[in-house]
Amino acid sequence: MLVYNVIATLPIEENTSVLIDGDGKDFKNGTGVLDDKGFPYEVLSVGMSCGDADEMLKRTSLLIKGNFASEKLYV
Amino acid sequence: MYRKPKPEGYVEPMPKKQFFKLLKEFKAIGGTFGMGEDVDRFLEMQNAEASTLNGFLILFSSKPSRSAVYEELIHAEQYRNNKNDGSYRSRLENEIEAQEILIEKADEYELTEPEIVQTKKALASYKKELQEYLSERGN
């Protein structure tokens, strides 16, 4: 199991946009993840962000179903 | 009157009138967008100007550039056309396509020289990353 640091979260209606460290190679739309309490969540989609390309590859934004509030994300 | 010179590589924001016209068009097809202080803070953590979360949801910083707005609208369309499954390969391929469209339509989109330079740099970076990723996987 891999663990990712959660850098920031942003509630969007009933879902949460979650910014994690790393290029996010382990994710795709529909990937199942866990929070630090072991609760399961679904990655609805992986974000496409605009800025310096090399910077964009260092972090990944995910749209997670539900209210995700955890400092770690497991996949 | 003295005006402070713009720093090298300065990218000007899209004029508000043009920005809101595009947002109106996006909303007309069912799109929604997030803007405001919370969104700005979230995007700053990624050093991003904007972020497309699916075919109908985009986060914009307060003053996005023309290239950022058009790029995110392209990404949203890619999502709507099921071109993006969210995998790393798919994201890189979609990034490459988006940068190529921006360069091809630079005149139509009225992109400034710094934006074109930045877009070409991004295209090269994403192409390199895709090549390395595929070669790591033995493709």
Chain A residue with Cα closest to B59: A49
Residue A36 structure tokens: 């630090």
pLDDT in the model for residue B138: 74
* Dist. CA B91–CA B77, nearest whole Å: 13
Q: Summarize pLDDT for B19-62 with one digit per residue, the tens.
A: 999 999 999 999 999 999 999 999 999 999 999 999 999 999 99
Chain B residue with Cα closest to A51: B48
Q: Which residues contact B31 (CB under 8 A, 6 or more apart)?
A: B55, B56, B57, B58, B76
User: Above 80 in pLDDT, residue A63?
Assistant: yes
Q: Supply the mean pLDDT for chain A.
A: 95
Q: Taking residues A23-49, what's their average pLDDT?
A: 97
Reported pTM: 0.93
pLDDT in the model for residue A19: 97
Taking an 8 Å cut-off on Cβ atoms, the answer to whether A50 and B86 are in contact is: no
User: Above 90 in pLDDT, residue A8?
Assistant: yes
Nearest CB to B51 within list A23, A25, A61: A61
Chain B residue with Cα closest to A6: B45
The distance of A68 to chain B (nearest Cα, Å) reads: 15
pLDDT in the model for residue A25: 94
User: Above 80 in pLDDT, residue B5?
Assistant: no
The distance of B47 to chain A (nearest Cα, Å) reads: 7
pLDDT in the model for residue A27: 97
Q: Taking residues B64-82, what's their average pLDDT?
A: 97
Q: Supply the mean pLDDT for chain B.
A: 93
The percent of residues in chain A predicted with pLDDT above 90, rounded, is 89
User: Above 70 in pLDDT, residue B7?
Assistant: no
Higher pLDDT, B3 or A33: A33
Sign of CA dihedral B67, A20, A16, B97: positive
User: Above 90 in pLDDT, residue A56?
Assistant: no
Confidence of residue B4 (pLDDT cuts 50, 70, 90): low
- Other beta carbons within 10 angstroms of residue B105's beta carbon come to 13
Chain A residue with Cα closest to B53: A47
Contact in structure between A31 and A19 (CB atoms under 8 Å): no
Taking an 8 Å cut-off on Cβ atoms, the answer to whether B129 and A17 are in contact is: no
Nearest CB to A53 within list B72, B90, B125: B125
Nearest CB to B91 within list A10, A46, A54: A46
Taking an 8 Å cut-off on Cβ atoms, the answer to whether B67 and A50 are in contact is: yes
Taking an 8 Å cut-off on Cβ atoms, the answer to whether A12 and B53 are in contact is: yes
The ipTM assigned to this model is 0.94
